[in-house]
Amino acid sequence: MTDDVKARYLVLSDMHFGTPESSINDMRFNSALIKYMVSRAPWEEIVLIGDLLDINLSTFTRSIEGTTGEGQDKLLFGFRTFIEALDSLMKQKEPPQGLKELAKNWYYVPGNHDYKIWDMLATTVVCTDVLSDGKPMGSVPTPLMKYKWIGMESFIAGIFRPYGVQDQVVVEYPNHEILFGKEQEMMVLTHGHYLDPTQTGFNNLSDHFRELASPADIKKAKRRVFIETAQYQTVANAVSFTIFWRSLVNVIVGPDAVGNKLKKLKNKCGDWLLRLIFSGEGIKGKQISSKQLLNIEYYLEKFCGYEKPPRWFVFGHTHHQDEGKTSRLGVDVYNAGSCYLDRGMAITFIEIETDMGENPSIQCMCVDQSGTVRKAIK
């Protein structure tokens, strides 16, 4: 770390461990990312903003453990192998270190493809723990809309336990916040599926909240959006338990371009399903639009209830690294990207540095198709 840099933060989104289309399965790309992460250590925080484990299009086992590539399975690089590789390369440093020295803290904010993580943890808070303590159901008000689990409370920290890092792992939902500088200006990091009407029961936030002013009406509307989003994610996760439905969902919401999706879906199910599902296409692979920037403002003000807007907003979900600025609140917006091929970049991510004056510098980075880590060129 250079003398003028106080801390570094790494933001990764949409790694989709468990899906064969993710660039994280390619040794050229995952090794380049791992080497870069180790070369820039120590990180103040490594922030994983959703769709880390693809439980909708894959399974817990394939996402975490990967596959060997034997038989009919394509070789999948599991999340556990990713963590092992980081630790192994840290031990090759002089003097030898380990995963514990790579980052001070790991933050994981589940998205829509790993919504099951939030669902399981939230169920523990509102149901399992309540019953175990002998308390009546309803002791914890529902729906639980935000929470934080530190260390082994999160269960996912068990992957880090062999390296003594379990206490440095935090799972939280729906946002992670970082404060910078003497003024404690805030950066909000989230996955971004609440900005996508196709993931929220077709509740477009700017339309949903525009006319609402009273706290009671806003609370009611927020509750509706949250519940309908949860219902949609539950259905999406439920169909992933059979190969046919998993492949169908992959065609619909997977990484392919719309044209390829249409051809595959027509071959699989016929024209009638095309008209049903593609009445409106999602925001995958698209630049940050003015509508999306407007949704971000309503997300921050009405859905999250920030009295003072954050200075920066970082999200993922669309698989398209980009930058923008909201018009009314003046929030600087960044999309971290993904581990899906985008404009010749195999992996895209964000690196944040703070200087001695604690002013954050935000840089869009990528692993290109040659396996080189560099600044992304828009």
247 part of a folded domain:
no
263 part of a folded domain:
no
261 part of a folded domain:
no
Rounded to an integer, what distance in angstroms lies between the CA atom of residue 263 and that of residue 265?
6
Q: Packing angle between helix 115-123 and helix 215-238, nearest 10 degrees?
A: 110
180 part of a folded domain:
yes
Number of C-alpha atoms within 13 angstroms, CB side, residue 304?
25
pLDDT of residue 2: 46
pLDDT of residue 355: 83
Structural domain including 175 reads 5-241+283-375
pLDDT of residue 269: 54
20 part of a folded domain:
yes
pLDDT of residue 271: 42
254 part of a folded domain:
no
Classified as helix, coil or strand, 275 is helix
The identity of residue 348, as a single letter, is T
pLDDT of residue 267: 57
Instruction: Write down the pTM of the prediction.
Output: 0.89
273 part of a folded domain:
no
Domain count, the chain: 1
Cis peptide before 141 (omega within 30 of 0): no
Q: Packing angle between helix 27-39 and helix 79-91, nearest 10 degrees?
A: 50
14 part of a folded domain:
yes
CATH number, residue 165:
3.60.21.10
Per-residue pLDDT of the chain (378 residues; tens, 9 = 90+): 444 678 999 999 999 999 999 999 999 999 999 999 999 999 999 999 999 999 988 899 999 999 987 766 789 999 999 999 999 999 999 999 999 999 999 999 999 999 999 999 999 999 999 999 999 999 999 999 999 999 999 999 999 999 999 999 999 999 999 999 888 999 999 999 999 998 888 889 999 899 998 999 999 999 999 999 999 888 877 765 555 655 666 665 555 545 555 555 555 554 434 333 433 345 777 899 999 999 999 999 999 999 999 999 999 999 999 999 999 999 999 999 999 999 999 999 999 999 866 789 999 999 999 999 999 976
pLDDT of residue 56: 86
pLDDT of residue 279: 34
pLDDT of residue 235: 80
